Structure 1
Amino acid sequence: MTEQSIIFFDIDGTLLTHDKELPNSTKEAIFKLKEIGHEVAIATGRAPFMFEDLRKELEINTFVSYNGQYVVLRGEVLHTNPLNINALEKLTEAALQNSHPVLFMDHEDMKANVPEHDYIKESISTLKIDRFPTHDPSYYKGRDLYQMLLFCPEGEEEQYEMGFQEYDFVRWHPVSVDVMPKGGSKAKGIQKVVDKLGFSPERQFAFGDGLNDIKMLSSVPNSVAMGNAEEEVKAVAKYVTKSVEENGIYHGLQMVGLL
């Protein structure tokens, strides 16, 4: 009998292509892993509501979302790490003064603090999800938020990095930056899952391609960077597979001996 492993997959650029399509070979690989008896999970910067359809299609109910701030294990919430609300209010005020919109995000929805903005349309549209943020500048009040999106051109986030030590800022789009609790990461969310399930380090695997995957690929012992990943991401991974468009998931799983 094959010893059970747990495998975490990033979504954008890893499970999904640049056009947000799921390769047939990837879907086949995921179901083969589960048939063998392995645990399959998702680790993403996305909100839970942004990949609900994908979870249903792949029959995955364990996931690390919001870059580790909202973790679900087999359908039950395991860990949450909300944003500091006082710093959130101050950052929102500073962003307004700079004409930089923000997006408030909890586990169920996302609301913008401005009625509309080109940066929001430009970045959110690339995710190709079936909903678009609506306007509610007070959405942050009375609820836990796990991530904000700050919309500004590259380099302009530096002023916020210096002024708001409570947060980490990770760019995911030329005009948009993830704002998350300081020190929060996919790696920490993954650790919550593997601690709960008791997987030994040698039975832990992760696949990713983006800058927000660097901590994950640095900490998970059997890490695999996609062929389409940036060079600094490949540099921290134990293995490098083919690109997502070249059946990279299936190839990578064969490379590490899981298929």
Structure 2
Amino acid sequence: MTEQSVIFFDIDGTLLDHNKELPATAKEAIFQLKENGHVVAIATGRAPFMYADLREELGIHSYVSYNGQYVVLEGEVIYTNPLNKSSLLNFTEKALHNNHPVVYMDHEDMRANVPEHPYINESIASLKINQFPTHDPYYYQDRALYQTLLFCAEGEEKQYEREFKDFDFVRWHPVSVDVVPKGGSKAIGIKKMVEKLGIPRDRQYAFGDGLNDLEMLSSIENSVAMGNAEEVIKLAAKYVTHPVDDDGIYHGLKMAGLL
């Protein structure tokens, strides 16, 4: 019998192509991994509600969301790392003063502190998801939030970076920035999961393509960069596979000896 391994997959640019579609060969490969007794998990910057359909389609119940801030193993929450509430309140006040909208995000939903804004419309539409933030300026109260989106032009986030040392600011769109707890990463979320699973390092695998995958690919022994990844990502990985839209997942799993 094949020894059990765990394989983590990023979503955008890794499982999903640039049209946000899942290649047929990737889906078939994941079903084959599961049939062979391996643990298949997702590691993404997305919120859990942004890829519920994908998890259902692939039958995946273990995932690292918000770049490591919310970790679920077989349907059970095993680790959370929410934003500091007092810092978030001060951050919100500054953003309001600067006319920079924010969207608050927990594990179930996202709500905007303004009724409407073109930057919100533009950036969220680019994700091609079914959800859109509704208006609730007090959504940050009485709940744990794992990420906030700040909407501003490139460079304008620098003032927040200087002032709010509890947060990391990661631009993902020309008009939007992820605000996450300082030092959080996919690698930390993955570490929490593999500790529970008890699967050794030599049977841990990860696939990714973006800058938020860099620490994950550097820390996982059997890491695979997609062919569409930037050069710095490829240099961090053990293997480099084909691009996502050229059967990259399938070929990467073959290279790693899992198929």
TM-score higher than 0.5 here?
Answer: yes
Counterpart for residue 108 of structure 2: 108
Instruction: Report the Cα offset of residue 235 of structure 1.
Output: 2.1
Matching residue of 1:25: 25
Q: Which runs of 5+ in 2 are unaligned?
A: none
* Structure-2 separation of matches of 1:76 and 1:191: 16
**1:39 matched to which residue of 2?**
39
- Is the counterpart of residue 6 in structure 1 residue 16 in structure 2? no
TM-score (norm 2): 0.98
Q: Distance in 2 between matches of 1:179 and 1:231?
A: 25
Q: Give the 5 Å matches for 1:198-217.
A: 198-217=198-217
SS at match of 2:138: coil
Amino acid at match of 1:189: G
Deviations 1:123-175 (A, max 9, x none): 11111111110011100000100111111222221111111100111111121
1:169 corresponds to which residue?
169
Question: Counterparts of 1:189 and 1:101 in 2: how far apart (Å)?
Answer: 28
Aligned-pair distance for 1:199? 1.0
C-alpha separation in 1, matches of 2:94 and 2:229: 33
How far did residue 58 of structure 1 move? Answer: 0.1
The alignment partner of 2:71 has SS state of strand
1:73 aligns with 2:73: yes
* 1:255 counterpart residue number: 255
AA aligned to 2:200 is S
CA root-mean-square deviation: 0.9
Q: Which amino acid aligns with 1:255?
A: M
Aligned residues: 259
Deviations 1:69-115 (A, max 9, x none): 11000011111111001110111111122221111000110001111
2:224 match? 224
Instruction: Report the Cα offset of residue 2 of structure 1.
Output: 1.3
SS state at 1:235 partner? helix
CA distance in 1, matches of 2:170, 2:29: 30
Q: Find the counterpart in structure 1 of residue 87 from structure 2.
A: 87
Partners of 1:114 and 1:36 in 2: CA distance: 48
Give, in whole Å, the separation in 1 of the partners of 2:124 and 2:246: 26
Percent pairwise identity: 71
Matched residue, 1:179? 179
- Deviation of 1:4 after TM superposition, in Å, equals 1.0
Deviations 1:36-94 (A, max 9, x none): 11100000111111000000000000000011111000011111111001110111111
Separation in 2 of the partners of 1:221 and 1:246?
A: 24
Deviation of the 1:192 alpha carbon: 0.4
1:120 aligns to what? 120
Cα separation, 1, equivalents of 2:211 and 2:171 = 8
User: 1: distance between equivalents of 2:151 and 2:222?
Assistant: 34
TM-score (norm 1): 0.98
